[in-house]
Amino acid sequence: MTDKQWVYLFNEVEEAEKNAGGTWDGVRALLGGKGSGLADMTRAGVPVPPGFTITTAACNAYLAEGEKFPAGMWDQELAAMKQVEQQTGKKFGDPSNPLLVSCRSGAKFSMPGMMDTVLNLGMNDQTAASMVKLTGNERFVYDSYRRLVEMFGEVVLNIPDEAFEHPLAEYKAKKGAKVDTDLTAENWKAITEIFKKVVRENKGFDFPQDPYEQLRLATEAVFKSWNGKRAVDYRNAAGISHDLGTAVNIVTMVFGNMGSNSGTGVAFTRDPATGEKKMYGDYLLNAQGEDVVAGIRNTAKIENLANELPEAYKEFMEITSRLERHYKEMQDVEFTIERGKLWMLQTRNGKRTAQAEVKIAIDMANEGLITKEQAVQRVTPDQVDTLLHPQFDSKAMDQAKGEGRFYAKGVNASPGAAVGQVYFDADTAERMKKEEQRDVIMVRPFTKPDDVHGMLAAKGILTSEGGATSHAAVVARQFGVPCVVGASDIRIDLERLQMESDGKVVKEGEWISVDGTTGQVYLGQIPTMAPRLEEQTDLLTLLNWADDICATPGIRQAPEGWPTTGLQVWANADYPKDAQRARSYGAKGIGLCRTEHMFFETERLPIVQRMILSGTSAGRTQALNELLPFQRSDFAGLFAAMDGQPVIIRLIDPPLHEFMPDEEKLLEQVIELRVKGETKGLKEKEDLLAAIRGMHESNPMMGLRGVRLSIYMPEIVEMQVRAIFEAAADEAKKGVIVKPEVMIPLTGTVKELEWIQPRLVRIAKAVMEEKGVSFSYKFGTMIEIPRACVTAEEIAKVAEFFSFGTNDLTQMTFGYSRDDAERNFLIKYVEEGILVKNPFQTLDRDGVGRLMRMAVTDGRKARVNLEVGICGEHGGDPASIDFCHLVGNNYVSCSPFRVPIARLAAAHSALKYKGGQVSAFEVDK
């Protein structure tokens, strides 16, 4: 295996492509994101300092072989170094013309701050001395050398940061220097010596003077850091696989700290918070490496570079726009200018907010960089969810201002409203969230990778230092946590656990409101409100594109007669105002209207109870006649709201005792009357109590409800169907296009439908005749009992549509009652891996799903154009929607608020399986 290639020069990207299976994804896996980006830029003629990449495969081999370099790797690394020496005309470790390099980690997916870079490898006492002569810039040389000793000490030798920070602070204080730029060459030289002493004291050996020893140790340290705690935690949080490994990049040093015509910076090619097409970044003159990101010095805005170094700026703008066109993605770049000459040090797809994701996708499609399909695929359903999340109520915000509760302003780093209690360190923040269920705002001067667990637990993040590209900002954006950084008026006192701004003190545990959208911070709690979809024009455009994709005939491969478009999204809505909202959110029909809600309203409930208590059919009919006008007007409103679209109305489903007063409370009242010796009203209450007791069932969920109740007491559903068709007829006469669909719940055998459905159809026809109008309608059933799935072919001979009630179907299939399961054992089951997920949230494909597939397939044997939908909570869950696409549903129906999410998810499924003949069980779970 010695001939395996472990090392690739930046100009060997073609070889890497060949050895990685010919795909760019393969190259990224082999060379890591950073390495593949550097190689790709080199190929495109972008100025990248010469260098090479040691592969992720080498890292994996190193870790697998008990921390030993795989055979041949070190020799290849030395040979690559020789090549770089030739390319640069310098020599590693040669005092007369020293080559310096950086050693940078880089896995396939970027993991901000997880693995640290060491700059200036190759410096030692000798090269430093000769570099002073070569550059004539002693300050620069010793600034660089002390950086190497410090970074090498911290990153490679694992000496704690404080061991260097304390002596530096002490030294600065002694010299009266406020910022680093106040320090002279002499000072840096002295600090270098101090740092070398720190190494000796902490490790018992000297900082290695041999450059190759430095290189070897640094390479190993990168490999090892793959399994460091911070890296492992981050991968767990972000769902990145642990077996990818990291590559190591060795890059010729370029220097941003060589004076005022040098500098370093980071930039996004579009605004990562809003998505606006505008270069967004920071830079610092006369600075190196991490200075910009660390937020130690105040940075300048990238636009300003046009005045300070116009040539370099022009080239930078030209290169970055080329990179964006090449990757068809917003880029996040790092650059350094050495004495006027621009070098690119990194490019990658930039992290961004949900809002920016949508805007960039739309803009790039309009610019012709990507297709509409790609734009739709880029945005995730979760991001849409984020966009529909709360913002601060602007009136309440103005009021808070008026009350003098404005606290501070910083950089709006990650949008959204967060209200919570202040905690000043990650562990406490995490504990308060987990153990006390508090809403937490994590406040820090700045954050580091060790703080990520607290940031993930927080509702919001606030820092007093750092800019839009600081660690806090990047992490917050990625995880969708509202965040304000660099609120520099705030002074945080970590010892007394409090902060102060403009004389106002906030102590640990006190409430603040953080607006990541505007960068403002307020004292106390400001109410939030849901953003209006109507105002989010980019999102609306994207969702319309998603609908167009789903509406494309042939996008779904399916048997003859089945739907070949994607899924439609309908909504569950009981009232006209819900139906209106659903429609404005893009629903194409009502998949479930629950009629029993309408029985609970105060003026109706006594009539309902009278109906239930009456012992005769005639008595029931009389009460029901009083209810009819109410029901009719409910339905009329729904039909008007859904003009032109189908409305599925489910006939009464719950057991009747749900409409009766609570048995225990009633018993108490009866006892009280008896004790007081009152007779007035006693008899009525006693009778009622006896009636309720007579209705008692030991397992109501499986008792007299649904279609069983309708067969037992048909008068109720007969009234409901009359109300539905009278309302539809009245609306139709007004010119509304009505499409009523009557849904019979809880069918277990076709005989039930054969008994009830013809009676109801007769009523429907009679009403249309009475009213002198006709319109199309359907009668169908909800499928929520396993027996119905198994006998679907018979059922579909009577039912014209199926709607899966997956809440009940899941309960019945598993034999769990949902409430008991979620309260008692479900979490344990998921933790123990007995269930992969809560089956009430994400459809269980292997069990419930298999029954669904059987029901659809068999049902369509009897009736090829059988309309199939789902109306359980699963209808708004992307993974469940995906399954509904695969089994051949016509639509999914979910809560109005989830309709936008479901529309996007439906389009994703349509595109994912486009053109391929798939069956519901061949695909990933």
Quick one: the chain helix, strand, coil %, rounded to 5?
50, 15, 35
Q: Is 161 exposed, middle or buried (0-12, 13-18, 19+ CB in 10 A)?
A: exposed
Do 459 and 418 meet the contact criterion of CB atoms below 8 Å apart? yes
Name residues contacting ligand ADP, limited to 346-385 (CB under 6 A): 346
Among 57, 156, 345, 892, binds ligand ADP (CB under 6 A): 345
Name residues contacting ligand ADP, limited to 213-242 (CB under 6 A): none
Q: How many residues does the chain have?
A: 925
Q: Does 808 help bind Mg ion (rule: CB under 5 A)?
A: yes
Element at 310 (helix H, strand E): helix 310-327
Q: Which is nearer to Mg ion, 249 or 383 (CB)?
A: 249
Place of tokens 């000459």: 341
Q: Which is nearer to ligand ADP, 104 or 845 (CB)?
A: 104
Q: Which has the closest alpha carbon to 284: 259, 304, 308, 265?
A: 265
Q: What, of ligand ADP, Mg ion, none, does residue 254 touch, CB below 5 to 8 Å by kind?
A: ligand ADP
- Helix pair 617-641, 576-584: axis angle to 10 deg: 30
Name residues contacting ligand ADP, limited to 91-130 (CB under 6 A): 102, 104, 113, 117, 119
| Beta-bridge partners for 7 | 54
Q: Which is nearer to Mg ion, 474 or 571 (CB)?
A: 474
Task: Name the region of 847 (left: φ>0; alpha: ψ -120 to 50; beta: rest).
Answer: alpha
Q: Does 39 help bind ligand ADP (rule: CB under 6 A)?
A: no
- What's the DSSP call for residue 872? S
Q: What residues are labeled active site? A: 471, 871
Give the shortest CB-9-to-ligand ADP separation in angstroms.
15
Do 57 and 245 meet the contact criterion of CB atoms below 8 Å apart? yes
Among 93, 113, 211, 805, binds Mg ion (CB under 5 A): 805
Binding segment for ligand ADP (CB under 6 A), chosen from 250-258, 504-512, 690-698, 806-814, is: 250-258
Do 282 and 469 meet the contact criterion of CB atoms below 8 Å apart? yes
Write the interaction track for ligand ADP spanning residues 49-88; mark x where CB under 6 A is met and - where it is not: x---------------------------------------
Write the interaction track for ligand ADP spanning residues 174-213; mark x where CB under 6 A is met and - where it is not: ----------------------------------------
- What's the DSSP call for residue 824? H
- Give the count of residues interacting with Mg ion (CB under 5 A): 5
Name residues contacting ligand ADP, limited to 290-329 (CB under 6 A): 290
Q: Does 391 help bind Mg ion (rule: CB under 5 A)?
A: no
Q: Which is nearer to Mg ion, 105 or 890 (CB)?
A: 105
Q: Does 251 help bind ligand ADP (rule: CB under 6 A)?
A: yes
Q: Which is nearer to Mg ion, 70 or 805 (CB)?
A: 805
Q: Which is nearer to ligand ADP, 49 or 786 (CB)?
A: 49
Do 460 and 418 meet the contact criterion of CB atoms below 8 Å apart? yes
Measured from each CB, the residue nearest to Mg ion is 808
Q: Does 510 help bind ligand ADP (rule: CB under 6 A)?
A: no
CA atoms within 13 A on the CB side of 35: 33
Q: Which is nearer to ligand ADP, 99 or 911 (CB)?
A: 99
Q: What is the DSSP string of 725-788?
A: HHHHHHHHHTT---EEEEEE----SHHHHHHHHHHHHHHHHHHHHHHT-----EEEEEE-SHHH
Q: Does 332 help bind Mg ion (rule: CB under 5 A)?
A: no
Element at 640 (helix H, strand E): helix 617-641
Q: Does 127 help bind Mg ion (rule: CB under 5 A)?
A: no
C-alpha torsion 600→606→608→614, nearest 10: 160
Q: Does 346 help bind Mg ion (rule: CB under 5 A)?
A: yes
Give the shortest CB-267-to-ligand ADP separation in angstroms.
11
Do 20 and 9 meet the contact criterion of CB atoms below 8 Å apart? no
Strand locations in 363-482, DSSP E? 391-392, 406-409, 411-414, 417-423, 440-444, 460-463
Among 246, 336, 609, 791, binds ligand ADP (CB under 6 A): 336
Binding segment for ligand ADP (CB under 6 A), chosen from 169-177, 246-254, 411-419, 838-846, is: 246-254
Q: Which is nearer to Mg ion, 291 or 808 (CB)?
A: 808
Binding site for Mg ion (CB under 5 A): 334, 346, 784, 805, 808
Binding site for ligand ADP (CB under 6 A): 49, 102, 104, 113, 117, 119, 251-254, 289-290, 334, 336, 345-346
